[in-house]
Amino acid sequence: MKQQRADAEADVEVSAQSIDWLREVDGQLMRNREDPEGPNAWVAIARTPAPTGRRGKLILGFGESAEEAASAAESSWRQVWGGMSAMH
């Protein structure tokens, strides 16, 4: 029981950090709620910095909550940016 509570608290902290990260990179959150009875659908949108002479990469993160979408976008952004930085 204690482990489950600790895991839940860690997830909340990671989610809050992801939302903060999205703000730092001037990202956006969008919610698709065309059908009020339908499932939640969130999209987080961010762009990597543009290397010299090139465009930044557009990153999308999807989730059932804003936090889940932001966390997915952050994870993808870090992976892509790490690969782009290694090439320079």
| Residue whose structure tokens are 């990597």 | 48
**For residue 61, pLDDT beyond 90:** yes
pLDDT of residue 39: 76
> Which CATH number characterizes residue 50's domain?
3.30.160
**Residue 44 domain boundaries:** 2-86
With a CB cutoff of 8 Å and minimum separation 6, the contacts of 63 are: 42, 44, 69, 70, 71, 72
pLDDT-above-90 percentage for the chain: 30
With contact defined as beta carbons under 8 Å apart, do 46 and 29 qualify? no
pLDDT in tens, 16-58: 788 898 999 999 999 877 777 777 788 999 998 887 788 888 9
78 or 7, higher pLDDT: 78
As for how many domains the chain has, the answer is: 1
